[in-house]
Structure 1
Amino acid sequence: MAALAGRRGRVAVSVSPAAAPSGLSIPDTMRAAVLFGPRDLRVVWKPVPVPGPADVLVKVAMCGTCGTDLAIQDRPFPGQPPFGSFTPGHEWTGVVVARGETVDEVAVGDRVAIHVHHGCGRCRNCLNGSYTACLNYGNVAKGHRASGFTVDGGFAQYVTHHASSIYRLPDQLDWEDAVLVTTAGTAMYGIDRAGGLVAGDTVVVVGPGSVGLTTLQVVRALGAGVTIAVGTRDERLALATRTGADHVVNSRQTDPVARVRELTGGRGADLVIETSGHPTTPELSLRMVRRGGSLLFLAFYDEPVNFDIGRANREEVRLVTSRGEGRTAVGRVLRLAASGAVRGADLVTHRYPLERIQEGFEALRAKAGDPIKVVFTP
């Protein structure tokens, strides 16, 4: 692990003279969390990355977590760098401290948020705008990068990212609002893939976790007429009410299908968005959708699930899957956040310094204190 042992001095990183303003001191090493094995995340010294010609170097202000961050600690995802070298973290925000020589989209000193994926820019999917489904996913040599998945991410003091995947933060947003925009961007992109949202539609969101709660805010901001949250914990459902749900259903106490049908006059919801990832919820979600409606899957599932595809066919339900935050969804969410329609800070429940990252993830696994969004600060 010699590559991870660095001097603790402060010298200029080797970037072009125009990349950083005169007098800005950037260290040669930094503290970063490295995944050494399953559930073995350690904070070590690591070289500060050097931005390429089209990259920016960002000093991380805050990095959030989601269920995927837990999953990749147990079993590496496709394209994930090997244990002992890889720094996860994909929901990060911070300040630009250096730029590659071709970058003029942002300035040093800008506060920024990101979307995770930078597609290769050369495959058919990227050329059609579907860079989250890049055909060269994980192939860094061909230009693909997914921060915190296929290249180092934001559980560190510094991180590089391609200029095309960076967004300036509106002045009125603080770090905790900004750290949730990637999550909200996932909802926005999924709604795009589902064909959009017609003002006045009835929308059901299944699973009031961080994705579900931000999704409720997004669909409300986009003009949903009636919003219904389905979950299993009263405290989460109470938060769903505060973040945009007109009705809540505790599926441990009430049949959610019957209740949604009751609330919609027997018709079913126009759009159901499944965010929980529980193996029983896809089938439940299908039975909440009206004939000719849409079912959007934002969740990932550990195993195959039972699902009545025949019912979906008979009812002409549109089944839509979605991954990530494509089509500049994060930029659109930032505008909603600037208006106050989407508030990430309301969902940040646990805060840890980077040095306590393992403790934070153990709390997330154990659901100690009912964590919704756990964030780390370098």
Structure 2
Amino acid sequence: MSKSEGTVTERAVAADVPETMRGAVLFGPDDMRVVQRPVPMPGPGEVLVRVAMCGTCGTDLKILGGHFPQTPPFGEFIPGHEWTGTVAGLGESVDEFRIGDKVCIEAHAGCGGCDNCLIGRYTACLNYANRAKGHRATGMTANGGFAEYAVHNAKALYRMPESVSFEDAVLVTTAGTGLYGLDVAGGYVAGQSVVVFGPGPVGLMTVQLCKQMAASQVILVGTRPSRLEVGKRLGADHVINAKDTNVADAVLRLTGGEGADLSVEASGGPDCPQQAIEATKRGGKILLVAFYPGQVTMDLSAAIRKDITMYTSRGEGGNNVKRAVAMAGEGKLRGAELVTHRFPLDDITEAFRVVRERDGEPLKVVLVP
């Protein structure tokens, strides 16, 4: 196929796109190698992106270990689901973008036709991982951003405002996760007290979101002082070190004895759902957005006695990445401050060692091709 500008009905690829690229391919559990691969070409409705950087997260550790369902086969699969870059090619029918546009992504592109997709719940697409039906989850069920180039569906791609840096954009999907959870749990936190469990990237972006949505106070719970300090800097009104104090008692003191209107569990700590039950007021809400290492035990009878409503959400559905992009463009979300480590793509093994061992207090580790 000629690499020409073409029209909206033809594929168009920038003249400087090479035939091959470097990509981090998963060959087996804990066996990630940077190798040469053909540059993928965008199909109808798809966009080729020159990757500027790709973030890492806890899900990537599960993928790296071979413990994530519905991934492509070993030897073919390029992970990475938090990436950003510049448009380098347009598939047939794509006229929403132009070559050279700076873009950020949401990881999930639903089939678009199932009941869940039609109401904006495409992270719970009923055709999840079914490529024939059109579903893609970059870096999870399809090749992702640990590479020099990646193909993505145009419907899950967003043009970046000029004021948004690539570092900010890496955290936009993360912000979309928090924003979608808040959307699922009712959308409004104005005037309410919110407790966020877990000062990781999702928790810290959720702290900022709740402050921008006029929560009366945002309380951040964690165990690492350095991350709690970041939370303070990003707007948390109070921080609680769960190693030093009883979380529920501390929250009750800060909320006049009532408990929080909303508790957001973003840590993945097995004890935290129970702490959320204890810290939430009667008639309040609990939002669970984390993944856990195994089964979780909690006192559901206590939640029922307190008439607590519990919600779960997965990923960044409901068009909330678009909302997060708009908030970042207005300076309401600060993502770049969470990027603590940068590694070249060739050092991806070392980058994941740092993530796994928490060497040097990493918060968001990014790979740069």
Please indicate the TM-score interval, normalised by the length of the shorter structure: over 0.9
Q: How does 1:1-378 map to 2 (within 5 A)?
A: 18-20=10-12, 24-378=15-369
Secondary structure in 1 aligned to 2:123? Answer: helix
1:294-322 Cα deviation digits (max 9, x unpaired): 10111101211111111111111111111
Runs of 4+ with deviation above 6 angstroms: none
Unaligned runs of 5+ in 1: 1-10
Tell me how far 1:19 sits from its aligned partner: 3.6
1:116-158 Cα deviation digits (max 9, x unpaired): 1111112111122211000110111111100000000000000
Q: Contact 1:268–1:290 (CA<8 Å) still a contact in 2? A: yes
Q: Which amino acid aligns with 1:167?
A: Y
Secondary structure in 2 aligned to 1:287? Answer: helix
Q: Contact 1:13–1:28 (CA<8 Å) still a contact in 2? A: no
Tell me how far 1:16 sits from its aligned partner: 5.7
Q: Contact 1:274–1:282 (CA<8 Å) still a contact in 2? A: yes
| Inter-partner Cα distance in structure 2 for 1:203 and 1:197 | 11
Q: Contact 1:78–1:138 (CA<8 Å) still a contact in 2? A: no
| Inter-partner Cα distance in structure 1 for 2:183 and 2:156 | 18
Q: Percent identity?
A: 54
Q: Which moved more, 1:349-358 or 1:305-314?
A: 305-314
Q: Contact 1:59–1:95 (CA<8 Å) still a contact in 2? A: yes
Q: Which amino acid aligns with 1:348?
A: V
| Inter-partner Cα distance in structure 2 for 1:13 and 1:319 | 52
TM-score, normalised via structure 2 length: 0.97
Q: Contact 2:3–2:12 (CA<8 Å) still a contact in 1? A: no
| Inter-partner Cα distance in structure 2 for 1:110 and 1:314 | 53
Tell me how far 1:14 sits from its aligned partner: 9.3
CA RMSD, Structure 1 to Structure 2 (Å): 1.5
Q: Show the counterpart of 1:7.
A: none
Tell me how far 1:210 sits from its aligned partner: 1.1
Tell me how far 1:339 sits from its aligned partner: 1.5
Secondary structure in 2 aligned to 1:27? Answer: coil
| Inter-partner Cα distance in structure 1 for 2:259 and 2:5 | 57
TM-score, normalised via structure 1 length: 0.94
| Inter-partner Cα distance in structure 2 for 1:246 and 1:127 | 38
Q: Which amino acid aligns with 1:151?
A: A
| Inter-partner Cα distance in structure 2 for 1:359 and 1:12 | 38
